[in-house]
Structure formats: C-alpha cells, structure tokens
Amino acid sequence: MNASSIFTQILKYTGVLALVIAVVGGGLGYFFAGTDGLWSALVGVGLAILFAAITAASMLVAIRFTLGAFFGIVMGAWLLKLVIFIVLLVALRDQPFVNDVVLFLALVVSIIGTLAVDALVVVRGRLSYVSDATLPPAPQD
C-alpha cells in the first residue's frame, strides 16, 4: 500500500462518516431544536468534512512534488482552511437558523470522527518506511 491509496481511503471513509453523522446528527438536531437544529447539524458536519477533505486532497497533491513544494502545499491548505473557517463563522454568526449548541456538537463529533478515520486508516495501511523502493537483485554465486 502506498501513501496515495491511504489518502484515497481516508477520503472514501470520511465521506461515509459524513453521511452517517449528517443523518444521525441532523435527526437529533431536528428532534431537539427543530429545523434550526437540523440545519445547524448539517452545517457543522459540512464544515468538518470540508476541512478533512481539504487536508487529504492537499496531501494527495503534495506527495507528487519535491519536499519544499510538499510543505508549501500542505501549509497553503492549512492557511486556506483557517481563512475559510473564520469567514464562515463570521458569516454564520448572526444567522437566525443557527443553533449554537447543535452546531458546536456536530463540529466536535465530526472532528473526532474524522481524526479516528485518519488514525485507523494510517495504522492499518502498513506503509513502509521507504515507499515504492525496489531492491537490487541478489548476487549470483
């Protein structure tokens, strides 16, 4: 297994996790806070999944470049996530459909879930220390 397949699996499992949390969190949000809770849960899940996807996608792109470009791409993605997060929180701050508690809980559960997916896929991935290396043939006696 190589690094590209690990990040592809992370994206796939994160998508499945997003659907599960959106259904369960949206249902609970609707049950406790009505349609405002439903929308808040969906926004919270969407934010967390968007940021997890940006991370995995940036890593998929960055592994194709040199080390300096790799770090530039990863840090650029991190800064992009920070700017998007601040802009979205400012935009959502005074919206009438936002239930702060449901939004916060959906974000926390989604973030913990995506971190668990990342950890499980990486641990089970068995990526070697030297990726895609081939050994020279054994000498003939």
What is the residue extent of each domain of the chain? 3-125
Statement: residue 129 has pLDDT above 70: no
Q: Is the pLDDT of residue 130 over 80?
A: no
Predicted confidence at residue 1, as pLDDT, reads 67
Would the CA dihedral through 13, 15, 18, 24 be positive or negative? negative
pLDDT in tens, 24-69: 999 999 999 999 999 999 999 999 888 988 988 898 899 889 989 9
The answer to whether 138 and 78 are in contact (CB under 8 A) is: no
- In sign, the C-alpha dihedral spanning 37, 42, 48, 50 is negative
| DSSP letter assigned to residue 135 | P
Q: Which of 54, 46, 61 is nearest to 78 (CA)?
A: 54
